[in-house]
Amino acid sequence: MPPIDNDTGKNELKCRIQQLIDSNQVMVFSKSYCPFCIKVKDLFKELQVDCNVVELDLIEDGTNYQEMLLEMTGQKTVPNVFINKTHVGGCDNTMKAHKDGSLQQLLSNNEAYDYDLIVIGGGSGGLACSKEAAALGKKAMVLDYVVPTPKGTTWGKSLMCLFWGRMFFVIFLNICIPKKLMHQTAVLGTAMQDARKFGWEFDETVKHNWETMKTAVNNYIGSLNWGYRVALRDKNVNYVNAYAEFIEPHKIKATNKRGKETFYTAAKFVLATGERPRYLGIPGDKEYCITSDDLFSLPHCPGKTLVIGASYVALECGGFLAGLGLDVTIMVRSILLRGFDQDMANRAGEHMEEHGVKFLRKYVPVKIEELEAGTPGKLKVTAKSTETDELIEGEYNTVLIAVGRDACTDKVGLDKAGVKVNPKNGKISVNDEEQTNVPHIYAIGDILDGKWELTPVAIQAGKLLARRLYGGSTLKCDYVNVPTTVFTPLEYGSCGLSEDRATELYGQDNLEVFHSLFWPLEFTVPGRDNNKCYAKIICNKLDNDRVIGFHYLGPNAGEVTQGFGVAMKCGATKEQLDSTIGIHPTCAEIFTTLDVTKSSGGDITQSGC
Ligand code: FAD
Ligand code: NA7
């Protein structure tokens, strides 16, 4: 790593070092081979005091650290020891302080928090962060509590497990997994139809059993939760199944499901409380409707279903329910997949429509009434046109609300801790190190304002945050060019900018869009969906035709998009895609042969491979 020769870099490094000094009772900057450093580390071991060590010879920019430490303390040599934010000095000074008792005095100045780190919320981000902090030797606790939905669902409530000889409730809420498994159930249904064309013969009527699927999916979630518990135990994270709220900036109250209150303090906190589905605020919504939090453990088949909302949760759920053979209608207030590339969104929607999903466009529900109780029962939905005053009515067995999710930040006592929240959406603003306006409180995952709401993003942010706080790392979470996939029946993978956003940012004249329809080989024999799959890249003409938007509509979109996500992180250009040899016969190879630009209006239909 070259020396830092600019003020920004120097300031960042200074902050990083200061953060390490502030976050650790004992902080030792050391070199792994130095006998004086070993002597100091042995002393703390003997005193049974946790000490955080950064070995400057083992990190990439150790020399820059050493230069900065010289600037900050006047000492260049190692070890360079700090106790409770006080600079002690090198080996001789530390030994002397031990001898004259001042070292013990400095150590006892510790504000004596119960934990180095408390993480509130044990979902994707919270678990990753707490495990990493514990692996770096910190005393870490994670609190997690799933408030039941109005329908009474707490994920895995029924999944009681025996662990360390004790029964406990499994409560981790990871909704992506059941969603993908149910999508896979639908994909298998289509594959079965295709199978006959490939010569498979099965005479009996093919039916789907909701309960079997639900049980299998929930059992798998149970096994995952077991794995999470084992990982937490192995990493020495104290996991507490309780609802946490701040009562002071460094103190929280934890309330368990029996209402018992316990209080904990920590030097640092990470907020990772995620989001929960929003309701409509119309008569009957909470009483009779379900949300995605209920759907994946619904004990009975939902039957004829109305999905309200048109973003990815709505389209994914509507898509797989239709794939199971159910009668599905999606009520769309305005557009499909707001925020995604609209050309792609409409193509994904058209494909759903062609495969039997009904769309009620430009309507919003105004009232839900129960006609018949049951599992499922029958509901009457009254909806109003967004363009006229027309009212329509429809009867459904189930109404699934997917109109967005609210950040779980309103009941966490953030006012007591002084953490600022965006009043418009309840989300938290952080700097590029996930630090809130209160220096010892950090936030990650879905509750962040203006960041991606995706599991791997929450995990990455949590892991890197712990490494920066306790491991001397400088790596920040990169929120740019995050690949993602919408698991609609025809899957949509994307990375980078939508065409709409790229045009806004760069202007149409500075962009070249290459695109093509394609027909996956596996669709050809069954004669399915010819020229429905679509590939598109958006290139920045001002920057060497760098790919700034990648869009793929077709099978296995997640698998395809992941690799192109890596390429985009490496700054892939159109020329590099062209010089890449494709894998034949695959869908992804289309990206190595794109030669029709959208502006040319050229023919993009394909007749085969
Ligand atoms: P969460 O994982 O939501 O965890 C927060 C946890 O904190 C919860 O357990 C909550 O109960 C708990 N909690 C809240 N308040 C408190 C409190 N005060 N005290 C204690 N505990 C508390 N992402 C993908 O990457 N791929 C997908 O395919 C995908 N599919 C999705 C499908 C659906 C239907 C939904 C709704 C989301 C999907 N997501 C997907 C998004 C993904 O689930 C989130 O981005 C991710 O879970 C965010 O992680 P998090 O750590 O911020 O919060
Ligand atoms: P989103 O992405 O917030 O989208 C909400 C959708 O619901 C969107 O289509 C909205 O239409 C629609 N909506 C919002 N309010 C209403 C009302 N009152 N009536 C009808 N339709 C409405 O929510 P998701 O649930 O799909 O996903 C949220 C996050 O959860 C996501 O980022 C993942 O992390 C998981 P609009 O376009 O505004 O007209």
Per-residue model confidence as pLDDT tens digits over 161-173: 333 333 334 444 5
Distance from C-alpha of 414 to C-alpha of 438, rounded to nearest angstrom: 10
Task: Count CB neighbours of 326 within 10 A.
Answer: 21
Q: What is the pLDDT of residues 138-183, one digit of tens each?
A: 999 999 999 988 887 765 433 333 333 333 344 445 789 999 999 9
Tell me, in angstroms, the distance from the centre of ligand 2 to residue 271's CA: 24
The answer to whether residue 440 is catalytic is no
Inform me whether the pLDDT recorded for 29 exceeds 60.
yes
Distance from C-alpha of 166 to C-alpha of 496, rounded to nearest angstrom: 47
Q: Is 334 in the pocket of ligand 2 (CB under 6 A)?
A: yes
Q: Are strands 290-291 and 398-401 parallel, antiparallel or unpaired?
A: parallel
- Superfamily for domain range 490-592: FAD/NAD-linked reductase, C-terminal dimerisation domain (3.30.390.30)
The minimum-distance atom of ligand 2 relative to the CA of 454 is 34
The minimum-distance atom of ligand 2 relative to the CA of 339 is 2
The minimum-distance atom of ligand 1 relative to the CA of 172 is 9
List pocket residues of ligand 1, CB cut-off 6 Å.
Answer: 120-126, 143-146, 173, 175-176, 179-180, 243-245, 272-274, 292, 313, 408, 412, 445-446, 453-456, 458
Nearest CA, atom 38, ligand 1: 176
Tell me, in angstroms, the distance from the centre of ligand 2 to residue 108's CA: 52
Nearest CA, atom 30, ligand 2: 405
Inform me whether the pLDDT recorded for 427 exceeds 60.
yes
What Å distances lie between residue 184 and 156, 207, 216, 347, CA to CA? 21, 16, 13, 21
Length of the chain: 609
Task: Count CB neighbours of 112 within 10 A.
Answer: 9
What are the extents of the domains in the chain? Answer: 7-108, 115-277+406-470, 285-403, 490-592
Q: Which residues have C-beta within 8 Å of that of residue 37, sequence separation ≥ 6?
A: 28, 30, 31, 78, 79, 91
Q: Is 333 in the pocket of ligand 2 (CB under 6 A)?
A: yes
Q: What is the pLDDT of residues 201-248, one digit of tens each?
A: 998 788 999 999 999 999 999 888 888 888 899 999 999 999 999 999
Tell me, in angstroms, the distance from the centre of ligand 2 to residue 28's CA: 49
Is 0.95 topped by the overall pTM? no
The pLDDT assigned to 93 comes to 93
Nearest CA, atom 30, ligand 1: 176
Q: Which ligand is nearest to the CA of 455?
A: 1
Nearest CA, atom 15, ligand 2: 403
| Fold adopted by 7-108 | Glutaredoxin (3.40.30)
State which of 142, 273, 453 you would mutate to test the pocket of ligand 1, scoring each by most atoms of that ligand within 8 A of its C-beta: 273
Fold agreement between 115-277+406-470 and 285-403: yes
Mean pLDDT of 92-109: 87
**Average pLDDT along the chain:** 93
Tell me, in angstroms, the distance from the centre of ligand 1 to residue 321's CA: 22
Q: Where are the beta strands (DSSP E) in 294-440?
A: 305-308, 328-332, 358-361, 363-372, 378-385, 391-396, 398-401, 405-407
- State the DSSP code for 581: P
Q: Is 308 in the pocket of ligand 2 (CB under 6 A)?
A: yes
Inform me whether the pLDDT recorded for 84 exceeds 90.
no
Please choose, from the candidates 92, 88, 38, 31, the residue with its C-alpha nearest in 3D space to the C-alpha of residue 56.
Answer: 31
Is the domain covering 115-277+406-470 a CATH 3.50.50.60 domain? Answer: yes
Binned at pLDDT 50, 70 and 90, residue 20 comes out as: confident
Distance from C-alpha of 285 to C-alpha of 309, rounded to nearest angstrom: 13
Tell me, in angstroms, the distance from the centre of ligand 1 to residue 446's CA: 7
Rounded to the nearest angstrom, the gap between the alpha carbon of residue 354 and the centroid of all alpha carbons in its chain is: 31
State which of 176, 317, 381, 403 you would mutate to test the pocket of ligand 2, scoring each by most atoms of that ligand within 8 A of its C-beta: 403
Distance from C-alpha of 521 to C-alpha of 230, rounded to nearest angstrom: 43
- Superfamily for domain range 285-403: FAD/NAD(P)-binding domain (3.50.50.60)
Rounded to the nearest angstrom, the gap between the alpha carbon of residue 208 and the centroid of all alpha carbons in its chain is: 31
Nearest CA, atom 24, ligand 2: 404
Q: Which ligand is nearest to the CA of 120?
A: 1
Distance from C-alpha of 445 to C-alpha of 274, rounded to nearest angstrom: 6
Percent of the chain exceeding pLDDT 70 equals 95
Nearest CA, atom 29, ligand 1: 176
- The SS3 of residue 334 is coil
Please choose, from the candidates 392, 346, 397, 345, the residue with its C-alpha nearest in 3D space to the C-alpha of residue 371.
Answer: 397
Q: Is 151 in the pocket of ligand 2 (CB under 6 A)?
A: no
Nearest CA, atom 8, ligand 1: 123
Q: Ramachandran region of residue 496, left (φ > 0), alpha (ψ -120 to 50) or beta?
A: left
Binned at pLDDT 50, 70 and 90, residue 252 comes out as: very high
> Of the listed 87, 440, 515, 584, which one is catalytic?
584
Residue 567 main-chain phi, psi, to 5 deg: -60, -40
